[in-house]
Amino acid sequence: QVQLVESGGGLVQAGGSLRLSCAASGTTFNINHMGWYRQAPGKRRELVAVVTRGGITNYADSVKGRFTISRDNAKNTVYLQMNSLKPDDTAVYYCSALVNGGTYWGQGTQVTVSS
């Protein structure tokens, strides 16, 4: 089993920055991809960014050039640096970890961007 705990969310003005962190614990040796998803009110959960164990990244078009995902395998931690935040980025952000048996999710952290 894998447990994921997010931190770093909060309230920020448009144009500002936040860094989210997600620490994984438990049976972490079998984690493959790690990523960040978000869900805004009334919308489906969507992919924000994903990183493989080897460091290859992929981003949603809406955040390319503004967000950076990174991973510290030694610490079993994944980060999301969010710059130039927009009100449309307001959502609950969820950390995810892909293992052979499925996907694990954190509890989510709220990001609110005011105009």
Structure confidence by residue, pLDDT tens digits, 48-98: 999 998 899 999 999 999 999 999 988 999 999 999 999 999 999 999 999
Among 14, 33, 32, residue whose Cα is nearest residue 82: 14
Query: What mean pLDDT is predicted for residues 37-44?
Result: 96
Asked if residue 28 lies in contact with residue 12, where contact means CB atoms within 8 angstroms, the answer is: no
Residue 3: per-residue pLDDT: 96
Distance CA(100)–CA(44), nearest Å, equals 24
Q: What is the pLDDT of residue 73?
A: 85
How many residues are listed for the chain in this entry?
A: 115
Q: Say whether pLDDT at 101 is over 90.
A: no
* Mean pLDDT within 34-54: 96
What average pLDDT does the structure give for the chain? Answer: 96
C-alpha torsion 16→39→27→80, nearest 10: -20
pLDDT at 32: 93
